[in-house]
Amino acid sequence: MSSTADTPDPGNLALSRKEDFRAFADAPRRDRPEPLTSAELSALHPSARAAYHRRRRVWHANLGPVRTPQLAALHEDLWDIVDSNLQDGDKAKGAVAVDAFPGLGKTTAVLAFARDFHRRETGEQGALTSKGHERWPVCRIGLTGNTGMKDLNRSLLEFFGHPGRDRGTTAQLGKRALDCVLSCETRLLILDDLHFLRWHHSSGIEVSNHLKWIANEFPVTLLMVGVHLADKGLFTEGGTAQETVMAQTGRRTTRLDMRPFTIGSETGRREWRQLLLALEQRIVLTDAYPGMLADDLSDYLFARSTGHIGSLMTLINRGCQRAIRTGTERLDRDLLETVKNDEAAEQARQELQAALERGRRTSRPRQARRKAA
């Protein structure tokens, strides 16, 4: 688990610079720590045991990404759009907005796509462009609180490590960013957490115009990710001046969704079970057993996460940490009861848990229930 100077520890990457992004994209998959029996674990020398615990801590903190149906569907749509945008320069490219609540896996899925796209493009076309510049198929910016247009342009220059990122007007910074995108032959521009852009009042038009300028001038697929983007008017077609400007962005923007898991249908229950089975494969605890999640904790985990993958993964991650630390070495209801989850999940939980306990709802598909009976 050591890291050398040229392969940064993936835990330290902020992904807002191209070198970080490349390290992320090129990083080999983490190796799953080999599962031990409890006898083998107690036979380890204390220092070896500490090292094993450490590897499992890091492993459980990074269990993803699981190829969920949501992630797979998003990737298919993104390949369709990105590849159909590889037309000649002067044609306007379609933009994409991934618009969904927090914790549904937007960032995870989009980064996994960005990584695949980076690898495919550099694999097929080489690390350098025909003019000898470094090839950067993906530029990815994560916005933070109340970003303005100038900050956004500066972040683009930061990503490319452009020396002129600290001076100039918004337009000059934007022009330099365009130069970077052109010389690095960037094809996919990801703006994550776009809801942090300053949208209010008159700047709504400014934002919209700016995004339109990027969409028109930059020969990229613009991939916007955020929460409540539709409410910000990104897709509306309407009467007022502001809405009309927005609509022009909207017409070429395809909206993609990430949905939570649901248990209202047999298909939904089967998907939930698949996810739990996939996670079971990854958990490394000495007393884990087949069915630990998918049979024995299915309803419980659904109630606590209400089908939100972010809440589920937090719970599993923290549960595994506690199971290792306390020597429990398995996940069960008693242990998970002591683990805190995020507030939104806790609130939604109360009602759902009551229904599940009264047996009026179930998270498990018919076949799995029959087998257990």
Ligand X SMILES: Nc1ncnc2c1ncn2[C@@H]1O[C@H](COP(=O)(O)OP(=O)(O)O)[C@@H](O)[C@H]1O
186 binds, among Mg ion, ligand X, none (CB under 5 to 8 A by kind): none
Q: Which does 64 bind (CB under 5 to 8 A by kind): ligand X, Mg ion, none?
A: ligand X
From candidates 15, 22, 85, 103, binder to ligand X by CB under 6 A:
103
Nearest residue to the partner ligand X, using Cβ: 64
Interface with ligand X, residue 108, by CB under 6 A: yes
Least Å distance between CB 226 and Mg ion?
8
- Looking at the Cβ atoms of 175 and 318, the one nearer to ligand X is 318
Q: Which is nearer to Mg ion, 108 or 363 (CB)?
A: 108
Does position 104 bind ligand X by CB under 6 A? Answer: yes
Q: For the sheet with 253-256, list strands across it.
A: 138-142, 188-192, 221-226, 95-99, 253-256
Among 15, 71, 173, 336, binds ligand X (CB under 6 A): 71
CB of residue 66 to ligand X, shortest distance in Å: 4
- The residue (of 107 and 363) whose beta carbon lies closer to Mg ion is 107
| Total interface residues for ligand X by CB under 6 A | 16
Identified binder of ligand X from the candidate list 44, 66, 335, 348, rule CB under 6 A: 66
What tokens appear for 254 in the block? 């395809």
Amino acid at 110: V
- Residue 107 found at the interface with ligand X (CB under 6 A): yes
Total number of residues that touch Mg ion (CB under 5 A): 1
Q: In angstroms, what is the minimal distance from the CB of 106 to Mg ion?
A: 5
Site for Mg ion (CB under 5 A): which residue of 68, 107, 221, 363? 107
Does 313 bind ligand X (CB under 6 A)? Our answer is yes
> What are the b/e assignments for 146-171, b being 16+ CB within 10 Å?
ebebebbbbbbbbbbebeebeebebe
CB of 139 to ligand X, least distance (A): 18
Residue (153 or 314) nearer to ligand X, CB: 314
Q: Is 114 among the residues that bind ligand X (CB under 6 A)?
A: no
Q: Which residues bind Mg ion (CB under 5 A)?
A: 107
Q: Which residues bind ligand X (CB under 6 A)?
A: 63-66, 68, 71, 102-108, 309-310, 313
